[in-house]
Amino acid sequence: MSQQLSREFLIQLANEYGTPLYVYHAEKIKEQYDKLKGAFGKINARFYYACKALTNINVLKYVNSLGAGVDCVSIYEVKLALKAGFDPKNILYTPNCVDFQEIVAAKDLGVNINIDNISILEQFGNKFGSSYPVCIRLNPHIMAGGNFKISTGHVDSKFGISIHQMRHIERVVKSTKLKVTGVHMHTGSEIKDIGVFLEGLDVMFEITSHFPDLEFIDLGSGFKVPYQPDDPETDVNTLGQKMAVAFKNFEKETGKKLQVWFEPGKYLVSQCGYFVVKTNVVKQTPATVFAGVNSGFNHLIRPMFYEAYHHIENISNPNGPERIYTVVGNICETDTFAWDRKLHEVREGDYLVFYNAGAYGFEMSSNFNSRLKPAEVLVKDSKAHLIRKRDEFEDLLKNQIEVL
């Protein structure tokens, strides 16, 4: 049975902790993780939580307790993961366009390093040679993902080293004696077509012959979760079955037994998250009825940045007559969460909830307009835990230095 928090419980939390409020359901994270383990149970698979989706230390600790590793994209995410208790060998560091010294710092912390730039690969090889194994991120030139902004494997992407530069990679590896134990690709997010993963796997299989020390293939992630009631999601069970056959055939042909790594972020935490806001005003114009809430893109930017859909519900009046509203925020910009959305009648003071708010919600929040960041609550075993206090005015001044 799918884990979901009730309207009544969300209202209770909103009354207790105030709004806007992010709420995360721990058991939903476990449900998603168990789905992946089950789907890929016939192959030697490991899962590294892409923590850029949500880095609260309590979420990291919980994911660690499930047995997952963690995928990090900055040295500070690496340090957060270590503080949360992850073993360095269960941390994968995949930076992009960072200073070389940050990569050296990650090496000193003993984590797995994934390099996506020939210049950095050469610098690392010249400095460390074969003493520290690395993974190489490749760009397979596969167009995938929900939209262009979240597609990372196409020809114009800044991510990865082009597969057409394999000869250059080989020269660097040979001349610097680098030990390459993994190859990596990630084509984008919200991938519905499992054929994209299988196509990428074929590319990775072809490349394995170039690296004699290879131990794993990392296929990134991009598993889609449903955002609308009738939305499709990635069929991980069928994908797992097809990949099991592919790996069996690969082992038969080459004699090589490789692990496969995945980096689910949104897939693990998106559906665990609820964002609860209060309706400040209901405003009628000649063409539109606006439901203006006490939040904006300073708290949830995905609808404005990615044109992402979040299901919205009026949990204060779930049986009221349905009307059409445009849901907007209180920021001095055009911060529209949803145009012409059918909701049960919204009244001033009603609580609205945005579903699928666990990934890239709080994580991409800001103090724009000098607004305060919301609190975060983690629900585990039916008990609510405050895991981040709401900002206070003093937090806006925390790192400012008054000189005048």
Does residue 51 carry a catalytic annotation? Answer: no
Binding-site residues? 222, 302, 306, 333, 360
Binding-site residues for pyridoxal 5'-phosphate? 222, 360
273-391 matches 26-266 in CATH topology? no
Domain 26-266: which CATH class?
alpha beta
Q: Are 129 and 177 in contact (CB under 8 A)?
A: yes
Q: Is the pLDDT of residue 397 over 90?
A: yes
Q: What's the rounded Cα separation, in Å, for the pair 324 and 346?
A: 10
Detail the DSSP E strand segments found in 128-185.
134-139, 161-162, 180-184
Query: Alpha helix (H) ranges present in 261-307?
Result: 266-269, 302-305
* pLDDT value at residue 152: 43
Residue range 66-92, pLDDT digits in tens: 999 999 999 999 999 999 999 999 999
* pLDDT value at residue 147: 39
Q: Are 386 and 305 in contact (CB under 8 A)?
A: no
Over the chain, what is the mean pLDDT? 94
Q: Which residue has the tokens 């170039």?
A: 210
pTM (2 decimals)? 0.94
Specify the DSSP element, H or E, that contains 324: strand 322-328
* pLDDT value at residue 157: 74
Structure tokens at 77: 């995410």
Structure tokens at 396: 């806006």
More confident position, 153 or 210: 210
From the list 6, 27, 5, 43, the residue with the least C-alpha distance to 250 is 43
Q: What's the rounded Cα separation, in Å, for the pair 370 and 392?
A: 11
Bond into 133 cis (ω within 30): no
What CATH number was assigned to the domain covering residues 273-391?
2.40.37.10
The one catalytic residue in 51, 135, 272, 332 is: 332
Contacts with 96 (C-beta within 8 Å, 6 or more apart), sequence order = 73, 116, 117, 158, 159
Domain parsing of the chain, residue ranges: 26-266, 273-391
Q: How confident is the model at residue 159 (pLDDT cuts 50, 70, 90)?
A: confident
Residue range 348-367, pLDDT digits in tens: 999 999 999 999 999 999 99
Handedness of CA 324, 329, 334, 337 (dihedral sign): negative
Residue range 173-202, pLDDT digits in tens: 999 999 999 999 987 666 778 888 898 899
Binding-site residues for substrate? 302, 306, 333, 360
Q: For residue 110, is it left (φ>0), alpha (ψ between -120 and 50) or beta?
A: left
End-to-end, the C-alpha distance of the chain in Å comes to 60
Q: Is the pLDDT of residue 219 over 90?
A: yes
From the list 113, 96, 92, 116, the residue with the least C-alpha distance to 104 is 113
